[in-house]
């Protein structure tokens, strides 16, 4: 806690990162629409699936993420045809020119990567634009690596929601500038959002990580998210008020 003194008054300031409601996501796990979307993902997926779920907000750093994935493909020709990035992006604030232009830049970058690498039915980046929450939840269950690389983010709930549901001991790659990194950093692969090569290296590390280490990290993330849930977030604030 910190204190602010102004005009003879003292204000106490505390910080509690927002949690999620695990029960909501436990229910969603078996929702018929989620299961249907998951079947489609499983039918199309190759050996490895890299997932990102974001709004098309410039702060989410999608274009650099695609460039990092392209560099990863350059570094790992042995994985061509064996890995796909599934990018599920919700169009954000398209009435603002800068946001509209950024969505166009995202689409251009995905086309560029696919034009360069695709062959024999293999699509390196499967880019889907739309507000499809159940599809995102299904992708949470299926990722081998989850890329969350915002330039800056106040928190980032995807980094908390997805590990809770993942069934493949998937590895979270998380920007050091995401607010959630302060909580989750011990169990993720940390990246600088401006370092494209570092992100490419992290994708490779995530997909080649020892199975036991993958499981250890994911189980620790799950335990943290369940312990620091929405109810705990509210209780912590009430406890702060009580202490005053």
* pLDDT tens digits along 95-138: 999 999 999 999 999 999 999 999 989 999 999 999 999 999 99
pLDDT at 244 over 90: no
Q: Please check whether residue 83 is in contact with residue 126, taking contact to mean a CB–CB distance below 8 angstroms.
A: no
- Taking residues 46-67, what's their average pLDDT? 97
* Residue that is written with structure tokens 């204190």 in the block: 3
- Taking residues 8-36, what's their average pLDDT? 95
pLDDT at 223 over 90: yes
- Whether this prediction's pTM lies above 0.85 is answered by yes
């Amino acid at each position: 806690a910190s204190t602010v003194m102004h005009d003879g008054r003292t204000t106490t300031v505390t910080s509690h990162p927002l949690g999620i409601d695990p029960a909501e996501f436990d229910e969603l796990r078996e929702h018929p629409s989620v299961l249907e979307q998951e079947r489609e993902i499983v039918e199309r997926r190759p050996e490895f699936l890299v997932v990102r779920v974001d709004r098309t907000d410039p702060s989410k750093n999608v274009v650099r993420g695609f460039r990092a994935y392209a560099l990863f493909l350059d570094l790992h020709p042995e994985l061509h045809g064996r890995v796909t990035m599934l990018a599920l992006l919700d169009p954000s604030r398209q009435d603002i020119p800068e946001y509209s232009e950024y969505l166009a830049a995202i689409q251009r970058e995905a086309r560029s990567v696919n034009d360069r690498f695709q062959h024999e039915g293999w699509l390196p980046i499967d880019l889907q634009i739309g507000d499809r929450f159940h599809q995102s939840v299904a992708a949470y269950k299926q990722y081998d690596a989850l890329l969350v690389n915002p330039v800056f983010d106040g928190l980032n709930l995807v980094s908390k929601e997805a590990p809770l549901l993942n069934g493949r001991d998937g590895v979270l790659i998380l920007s050091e500038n995401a607010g959630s990194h302060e909580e989750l950093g011990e169990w993720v692969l940390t990246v600088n959002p401006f370092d494209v090569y570092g992100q490419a290296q992290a994708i490779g590390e995530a997909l080649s990580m020892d199975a036991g280490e993958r499981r250890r990290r994911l189980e620790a993330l799950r335990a943290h998210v369940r312990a620091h849930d929405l109810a705990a977030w509210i209780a912590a604030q009430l406890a702060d008020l009580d202490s005053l």
